[in-house]
Amino acid sequence: MDLGLRDKVALVTGGYRGLGRSICQMLADEGVRVAINHRHSPDQANELVRQIRERSGVDAIAVAGDVAQEADVARMFDRIEQDLGPVDALVNNAAYCPPAATIDLTLEEFERAMRVNLAGTFLCSRELVRRLLATGCKGKIINISSQAAFRGSESGKTAYDASKTGIIGFTVSLAREMAPHGILVNCVAPGLMYTDMLAPAVDADPERFNRRVPLGRLGKTEEIAAVVVFLCSHHADYMTGATVDVSGGLAMH
């Protein structure tokens, strides 16, 4: 299936590892020029750039920046426009999950999760929307939430879960606001998947996690990334304000 993405430009926040890495790779495989955002991991981001250029034959760049800082976000978009062209699709993937249970969670850590996960989604989305409206162009925004937004977490990740719930509300509101302008905003809510954040707990007792999923296993980042890439494509042009569950059956409704 031709997704019609060749020569588009996409920014993936937190794109250098985990789910973000898979999203970058799959977008590049479809011919998308990818900007890989990182905050303090230039080596990993630049290595992914090298791999994408070699494997997919498209251009990619690493862009440093804190998504929770307005000035950083504006600089990222300026750099992308200069090196790759105007952004057509934004994937708000960057996330922070405080390691402490709620009773031990500091206000600073709670606020950091809100700033990276929720404010970062807002700032990057606002920057793209401003630029698209100024040029009269259409675009796609895909926000990454989590099944934890609906189900909570057994390990007490309240700050993370609350921020991911906020992302869903933000998606719906922005989608309504931008629909007349042809700017489509959707959300993906992954279930359990093997990433750096979950790896220590999964490695300690993999069967406990597998039993929680109706399909009997954790998801692969590539399986979630495939849905994100679809939402970036013209095949999803009649979708906006949707939250797509990719959870192996954790969410059934």
Rounding to the nearest 10 degrees, give the CA dihedral for residues 237, 238, 241, 246.
Answer: -80
pLDDT in tens, 110-134: 999 999 999 999 999 999 999 999 9
Q: What is the pLDDT of residue 98?
A: 92
- Among the listed residues 16, 160, 194, 238, the single catalytic one is 160
Domain borders along the chain are 9-242
Q: What is the pLDDT of residue 109?
A: 96
Which CATH superfamily hosts domain 9-242? NAD(P)-binding Rossmann-like Domain (3.40.50.720)
Beta bridge partners of 35: 11, 61
CA 4 to CA 9: how far, in whole Å?
Answer: 12
pLDDT in tens, 129-155: 999 999 999 999 999 999 999 988 877
pTM for the model stands at 0.95
pLDDT in tens, 176-232: 999 999 999 999 999 988 887 777 778 888 788 888 899 999 999 999 999 999 999
CA 61 to CA 245: how far, in whole Å?
Answer: 30
- Judged against a pLDDT cut of 80, whether residue 52 lies above it is answered with yes
194 is a catalytic site residue: no
